Amino acid sequence: MTLRRLPDNIVNQIAAGEVVERPASAVKELVENSIDAGAMRIDVVMREGGRSLISITDDGKGMSREELELCFERHATSKLPDEDLVNIEHLGFRGEAIPSIASVSRMRITSRNAEDTNAWTLNVEGGRRGELEPIGAQQGTRVEVRDIFYATPARLKFLKTERAEFGAALDVMRRLAMAYPAIAFSLSDEKRTALRVSASQGDLFEAWLDRLGSVMGREFADNALKIDAERNGVKLTGFAGVPTFNRGNATMQFMFVNGRPVKDKLFTGAVRGAYMDLLARNRHPLLALFLELPPDQVDVNVHPAKAEVRFRDSGGVRGLIVGALRNALAENGHRASSTVGGQALGSFQPQSIQMPLQSRPAQPVGMGGWSGAMAPAYPGGMSEETSRYQAPMGPGASEEPRREDHRDINFAPVAQSDNGPSSHGEGDDFQAFPLGAARSQLHETYIVSQTRDGLVLVDQHAAHERLVMERMKKAFSDKTVPRQMLLLPDVVEMDELSASRLCERADELADMGLVVEPFGNGAVVIRETPAMLGNCNVKALVQDLADDLAELDTTLALKDRMDDVFATMACHGSVRSGRRLTVDEMNALLREMEVTPHSGQCNHGRPTYVELKLTDIEKLFGRR
């Protein structure tokens, strides 16, 4: 075999295999060209999922006749004026997209710049160029890609359904639309418009939030936290959803580096780390983050598709993302998702309850009672229960015995406010606080609180679990974890491997308030526990910690996974369901929630409270 140079059309088709994997890849490359050209409006039309037609029209600066001819040459670009691959300031720069797409399709480009009196159009079919012709058109560029991959039938066979290919293009358009709120975008398939967003006006953050709401849904805009942080010349901005506003997958997580949509493992890991103790492992937050850094600090020339990047200081970038997210979540305080109340209302199933009437002798009643021979008989013995409830209590009667689990609560003092109440005795004034005034307890599990414009339903165990965990984290960071010595040390038996794992981490556990010592083969003895856990079930706690250590990476120090350890401890040291609370205790719990970070969700990511507005409750009863 003789060494020879491949023809240009084969070279372009090989390049197309990397640059143009599917119709969505062509959409991405061509729309990025429109953005680089300064377009303020970009309209995309696809037919049959992009198989038969991809049409992209923009109002950018356009191309001259000479530039139009040159754009079909490989590696012809206007985006590297100094031939510097380090300081890249445009989305495109390789000069491969147009010749690669043209080599596997029937392509037509029509363009006009501000200086020319008419537009020019050029057809390229399977890499074979036609003649340049003048045509009438507005300033800007229109690209039509027909019969994509007709020149490479093998690639055509690997395309998915029309809906799947159109969906992939829609995802590309959404990402670009989020990155550039000042540009109007649209995507349609000639039957329906899947995406249409107008150019956003005003402040950059307002424009971003407006665009993110248009793309990710208005509920995201209502539940988003502003992110604005900077470190060592690297700036991170954007919005992140509160933990209780989450999804079952990570499809609504977006990262942009210098305006370029990217998919990066560093970003995914940083987000997971920031929300580690706020979400269950199978739930994912919604967020869109925009990273701006000097071009020489990031390499975007990793792959022809330009979807991957490499950072010079990847550790610093990860730390910035984790720190900025955690700070925003901490400043968020007790806030929970606005959708939680709507989900609760959606769980109600109003239905007509039939109340059959049965004959019974008329009873002498007072004003407002039943006066006829028919009295209501409620199903299930409800009338008897009602009669017993309304009957006067006998001399020996007493209330139901109070159930106690003898657990110390130790709630923090009620937070003081310049405008709020000053003592427990002024219960009505507590309505001025965000979580209102405690009114009752349901099933010894849920606290009912009244606010000025609705009510709040609190899961006492989930809420206290979060409060205990945050107290332990703060005490640990301050190196002041108080411990209590057990009068009778607890011996916990377990398998030898679990016992050895605990004893290997004895020093670290002691820093967290738990003193563990070996006690023969397959057993440990517990001498001290964190004081804020109260009288918890020590054996169950230690067994759960041993199970956690079996799952954690043994190469990591416990302080690096302290959220997992504290979450386990807090679960055992929290007020359980079935524990009756006094009104003072309930109000103290509410006040501490209001000043505790992340108290809107428990350690497993579930909401700790549900807020229902009075208007929503009135709708349940047809008042509105």
- Dist. CA 220–CA 287, nearest whole Å: 9
Residues found in the chain:
624
In the block, tokens 């970003």 appear at 267
Assess whether pLDDT exceeds 70 at residue 496.
yes
Domain 8-197 has CATH 3.30.565.10: yes
Helix, coil or strand: residue 226: strand
Q: Of all residues in the chain, what percent carry a pLDDT higher than 90?
A: 23
- Dist. CA 590–CA 139, nearest whole Å: 62
> Crossing angle, helix 538-551 and helix 562-572, to 10 degrees?
160
Helix, coil or strand: residue 486: strand
Residue of 307 and 178 predicted with greater confidence: 178
pLDDT at 147: 92
558 close to 551: Cβ distance less than 8 angstroms: no
Residue 527 backbone phi and psi in degrees, to 5: -105, -30
Lowest mean pLDDT among 126-130, 139-143, 292-296, 413-417: 413-417
135 close to 118: Cβ distance less than 8 angstroms: yes
Assess whether pLDDT exceeds 70 at residue 552.
no
Assess whether pLDDT exceeds 90 at residue 237.
yes
Assess whether pLDDT exceeds 60 at residue 389.
no
Angle subtended at Cα 457 by Cα 410 and Cα 533, rounded to the nearest 5 degrees: 25
Residue of 2 and 264 predicted with greater confidence: 264
- Dist. CA 305–CA 97, nearest whole Å: 9
pLDDT at 374: 35
pLDDT at 183: 94
Assess whether pLDDT exceeds 80 at residue 302.
no
pLDDT band at 357 (very low <50, low <70, confident <90, very high): very low
Assess whether pLDDT exceeds 80 at residue 528.
yes
Over residues 112-141, mean pLDDT: 90
pLDDT band at 3 (very low <50, low <70, confident <90, very high): low
Over residues 355-363, mean pLDDT: 42
Number of Cβ atoms within 10 Å of the Cβ of 86? 12
Residue-by-residue DSSP string for 491-550 = EEE--HHHHHHHHHTHHHHHHTT-EEEE-STTEEEEEEEEGGG-S--HHHHHHHHHHHHH
Q: Which of 244, 265, 323 is nearest to 253 (CA)?
A: 265
- For residue 205 the two structure tokens come to 């953050």
Q: Where are the domains of the chain?
A: 8-197, 204-332, 341-346+403-624
For the domain covering 341-346+403-624, report its CATH number: 3.30.1370.100
Residue of 456 and 339 predicted with greater confidence: 456
90 close to 97: Cβ distance less than 8 angstroms: no
Over residues 375-404, mean pLDDT: 41
pLDDT one-digit tens code per residue, 152-201: 887 788 888 898 899 899 999 999 999 999 999 999 987 889 999 999 87
pLDDT at 77: 62
pLDDT at 337: 57
> What is the H or E stretch that residue 383 is in?
helix 382-390
- For residue 50 the two structure tokens come to 């992009």
509 close to 516: Cβ distance less than 8 angstroms: yes
- For residue 459 the two structure tokens come to 């899961």
The CA-to-CA distance between both ends of the chain, in Å, stands at 84
54 close to 188: Cβ distance less than 8 angstroms: no
pLDDT band at 356 (very low <50, low <70, confident <90, very high): very low
Strand 483-493 relative to strand 454-459, pairing: unpaired
Assess whether pLDDT exceeds 50 at residue 426.
no
Residue 121 backbone phi and psi in degrees, to 5: -130, 150
Per 3-state DSSP, the chain is made up of helix, strand and coil in percentages (nearest 5) of 35, 25, 40
Q: Domain 204-332: which CATH class?
A: alpha beta
pLDDT band at 346 (very low <50, low <70, confident <90, very high): low
Assess whether pLDDT exceeds 60 at residue 210.
yes
Q: Which of 17, 31, 11, 27 is nearest to 75 (CA)?
A: 11
pLDDT band at 94 (very low <50, low <70, confident <90, very high): low
pLDDT at 481: 82
In the block, tokens 């409620």 appear at 378
pLDDT at 607: 84
- Dist. CA 613–CA 624, nearest whole Å: 13
- Dist. CA 325–CA 271, nearest whole Å: 8
Q: How far is CA 318 from CA 100, 254, 324, 608, in A?
A: 35, 15, 10, 29
Q: How far is CA 150 from CA 24, 29, 73, 146, 440, in A?
A: 16, 19, 20, 9, 71
Residue of 87 and 276 predicted with greater confidence: 276
HSE toward the beta carbon, residue 76, CA cutoff 13 A: 12
Helix, coil or strand: residue 317: helix
pTM over 0.75: no
pLDDT at 6: 61
Assess whether pLDDT exceeds 70 at residue 349.
no
pLDDT at 18: 54
Helix, coil or strand: residue 272: helix
Number of Cβ atoms within 10 Å of the Cβ of 39? 24
Q: How far is CA 598 from CA 277, 279, 577, in A?
A: 9, 11, 21
**CB-based burial label for 413 (10 Å; 0-12, 13-18, 19+):** exposed
**Cα four-point dihedral sign 67, 73, 78, 81:** negative
- Dist. CA 239–CA 334, nearest whole Å: 18
HSE toward the beta carbon, residue 467, CA cutoff 13 A: 24
pLDDT one-digit tens code per residue, 269-291: 889 888 877 777 678 889 999 99
pLDDT at 283: 80
- Give all strands (DSSP E) within 9-118, no chain letters: 41-47, 53-58, 106-112
Rg (C-alpha) for the chain, rounded Å, is: 33
Assess whether pLDDT exceeds 80 at residue 452.
yes
Q: How far is CA 343 from CA 338, 610, 611, in A?
A: 9, 9, 11
609 close to 457: Cβ distance less than 8 angstroms: yes
- For residue 549 the two structure tokens come to 């250590």
pLDDT one-digit tens code per residue, 503-522: 888 888 888 888 999 988 88
- For residue 71 the two structure tokens come to 């754009």
- Dist. CA 191–CA 99, nearest whole Å: 30
Residue of 579 and 57 predicted with greater confidence: 57
Helix, coil or strand: residue 106: strand
Over residues 562-575, mean pLDDT: 66
Helix, coil or strand: residue 555: coil
Over residues 478-482, mean pLDDT: 81
- For residue 503 the two structure tokens come to 């004893």
Over residues 303-318, mean pLDDT: 78
Residue of 579 and 343 predicted with greater confidence: 579
pLDDT one-digit tens code per residue, 38-80: 999 999 999 999 999 999 999 999 998 888 888 888 666 655 5
Please, which residues have CB within 8 angstroms of residue 530's CB and are 6 or more apart in sequence? Answer: 472, 481, 482, 483, 484, 512, 513, 514, 569, 573
